[in-house]
Amino acid sequence: MKFLCTLTAGLLAAGHAAAAPNKAADACLKGKKIPASYPGDADYDELAEPFNLRLQYKPAAIVLPETNKHVQDAVICASQCGLKVQAKSGGHSYASFSSGGKNGSMVIDLQPLNSIVLDNTTNIAKVGGGVRLGNLAQGVYDQGKRAISHGTCPGVGIGGHFTHGGYGHTSRNWGIALDHIVGLDVVTADGKLLHATATENTDLFWALRGAAESFGVVTYFYLRTEAAPEVLTYFQFQWGDTLFKDKKAFTDTFLHIQTFSLNASVVDNRISYGIYLDGNATYNLGGTFFGTDKEFNSTILPEFLRGTALPTKIVVQEYAWIPYLILMSDKTTIAEPLTGYDEHDTFFAKSLTVPESSGGLTETTLNAFWDYISTPAPYAYFVIINLYGGPGSAINTKDTSFAAYNDRDSLWVFQNYGTMPTTLEYINGINDVIIEAQPETHFGAYLNYVDPSYTAEEAHELYYGSEVYGRLEGLKSAWDPKMVFWMPQAIGVN
């Protein structure tokens, strides 16, 4: 089989049909009896359809592994036949990089690896790389009333979410999803199956937690869990469109929220929240408090509202753990189907990380932001501004020696998301107006909101910074010298 792959790659180089190496890879996969779907198969189009319909790519083959050995053999076939490889967990890459980021890649769709097994002695969960967040949450709760910090969308796969950070409204208390990883089973570019932990294959373990897509296919995650809280409090303040009618009220309200967020006398790791702007029609602040509604109302609520414009509606309500997750998911259940997941959108998104060392956003910046978003947009969009930093934040207690994750100093993280975008200009403009108004601040970007409009060089600097990227680049040369694991912004891409 290796001879066949080498021969057809040579024919391609000599100018023969581009489909030839695909046929060789297909023959390699079929010869090793690896479950896969190919262009023209009945299930191919559904499997190939990405979450972001704006960016659609056609893989040469979509592998559906049922065992670690299937993944190992598929990677070997791809390497021998000159195909680039990307793993797909839930498929929610904003840039469709889990589809390869170009036509003709081999996608290893981990959907069949969906087991969740909690060790009730160690409270470590062994979780298949194709598990979605909702099923993970339900699974560890059902098996031992345990919980893990992660995002709120139940259909997102754990693969990219956990290895690129993984923020949720429990993260300031428990750390991000990435911080819960204690071990990984990974197939590397040479087809080996390795176990990586803080004491075994340590350099690889460091790199996988931040840049897994450039170093291997993670088949199983080993995740520490938390005791699920018996009760926590959800809160929301709604201003409707009132703050979009008054620039001073808009800016003063945000500045108060920012000051409150840095006030250690009332803020600790038990509280988390984000601001949601739906165009210029909706301004809400929603969050989670690890405590009772009585404590929230008596000690936090008065200080929170003291310097803001009065909300039109205030919601404060206690929830048990699973009902809370269902509330945050905006669904009726967090359990997702094991096959046939079919949620999609058409969008362009950007992110912006605001370092806490800068003191946050200035009055000048917020006024410029208001000026920009108060004008009509060419399509529907929203902005979410989540609190990462502040007193006691577990997100920012670690540094880059722990993992290849550079976003440990943010106060705020923006997600700017335009639906059915006719151009990219408006969403790009949100970032631009903030950066230009505050030129002394070194803004970054958040990797789970990956932006395909960046060059590889821009992405490396924004997501990792020069020091972390330099170490990753050296490890890429050692672990994957042939660039088997590739997408447009992969480590090592110039």
- CATH architecture observed for domain 231-319+345-453: 3-Layer(aba) Sandwich (3.40)
**CATH class as words, domain 2-109:** alpha beta
Closest to 60 measured CA to CA, from 10, 113, 33, 99: 99
Q: How many CB atoms lie within 10 A of CB 169?
A: 24
Q: What is the pLDDT of residues 358-410, one digit of tens each?
A: 999 999 999 999 999 998 999 999 999 999 999 999 999 999 999 999 999 99
* Residues making up the chain, counted from first to last: 494
What percent of the residues of the chain are helix, what percent strand, and what percent coil, each to the nearest 5? 35, 20, 40
Residue 153 has pLDDT above 90, yes or no: yes
Distance in angstroms (rounded) separating the CA atoms of residues 177 and 190: 28
Give the number of C-alpha atoms closer than 13 A to the C-alpha of residue 363, restricted to the C-beta side: 4
Per the model's pLDDT, the better-predicted residue between 296 and 1 turns out to be 296
Residue with tokens 């294959």: 201
pLDDT of residue 23: 87
Distance in angstroms (rounded) separating the CA atoms of residues 52 and 402: 32
pLDDT of residue 6: 40
Alpha-carbon radius of gyration of the chain = 23
Provide the mean pLDDT of the chain. Answer: 95
pLDDT of residue 18: 36
- Please report the beta strands in 169-231, taking only residues with DSSP state E, as ranges in sequence order: 181-187, 193-196, 217-224, 226-227
Over residues 440-447, the mean pLDDT reads: 98
- Contact assessment for residue 320 and residue 353, using Cβ atoms and an 8 Å cutoff: no
Side chain identity at 352, as an amino acid letter? L
pLDDT of residue 22: 75
Enumerate residues 6+ apart whose C-beta is below 8 A from 360. Answer: 258, 261, 262, 354, 411, 412
pLDDT of residue 308: 85
pLDDT of residue 346: 98
pLDDT of residue 488: 98
Residue 231 has pLDDT above 70, yes or no: yes
Residue 76 has pLDDT above 60, yes or no: yes
Distance in angstroms (rounded) separating the CA atoms of residues 429 and 118: 46
- Torsion (CA) 457, 463, 469, 472 in degrees, nearest 10: -110
pLDDT of residue 9: 38
- Contact assessment for residue 109 and residue 63, using Cβ atoms and an 8 Å cutoff: yes
CATH of the structural domain 116-228, one choice from 3.30.200.20, 3.40.50.300, 3.40.50.2300, 3.30.465.10: 3.30.465.10
Enumerate residues 6+ apart whose C-beta is below 8 A from 314. Answer: 235, 236, 237, 238, 301, 305
Per the model's pLDDT, the better-predicted residue between 309 and 101 turns out to be 101
Residue ranges covered by each domain of the chain: 2-109, 116-228, 231-319+345-453
Please report which helix (H) or strand (E) contains residue 349, including its range: strand 347-355
Side chain identity at 279, as an amino acid letter? G
Angle between the N-to-C axes of helices 2-13 and 20-31, in degrees from 0 to 180, rounded to the nearest 10: 170
Per the model's pLDDT, the better-predicted residue between 437 and 2 turns out to be 437
pLDDT of residue 252: 96
pLDDT of residue 333: 97
Q: How confident is the model at residue 91 (pLDDT cuts 50, 70, 90)?
A: very high
Q: What angle do CA 150, 354, 470 make, to 5 degrees?
A: 80
Residue 16 has pLDDT above 50, yes or no: no
Q: How confident is the model at residue 119 (pLDDT cuts 50, 70, 90)?
A: very high
- What's the pTM? 0.95
Sign of CA dihedral 316, 317, 319, 322: negative
Closest to 434 measured CA to CA, from 376, 377, 374, 354: 354
Q: What angle do CA 392, 393, 398 make, to 5 degrees?
A: 110
Sign of CA dihedral 416, 218, 101, 476: positive
Percentage of the chain exceeding pLDDT 90: 93
pLDDT of residue 211: 98
Enumerate residues 6+ apart whose C-beta is below 8 A from 63. Answer: 29, 34, 35, 36, 70, 71, 74, 106, 107, 108, 109
- Contact assessment for residue 215 and residue 476, using Cβ atoms and an 8 Å cutoff: yes
pLDDT of residue 7: 35
Q: How confident is the model at residue 280 (pLDDT cuts 50, 70, 90)?
A: confident
Q: Cβ-count burial of 111 within 10 angstroms (0-12 exposed, 13-18 middle, 19+ buried)?
A: buried
pLDDT of residue 19: 35
Q: What is the pLDDT of residues 194-228, one digit of tens each?
A: 999 999 999 999 999 999 999 999 999 999 999 99
Residue 428 has pLDDT above 60, yes or no: yes
- Contact assessment for residue 325 and residue 334, using Cβ atoms and an 8 Å cutoff: yes
Q: Do domains 2-109 and 231-319+345-453 have the same CATH topology?
A: no
Over residues 226-253, the mean pLDDT reads: 97
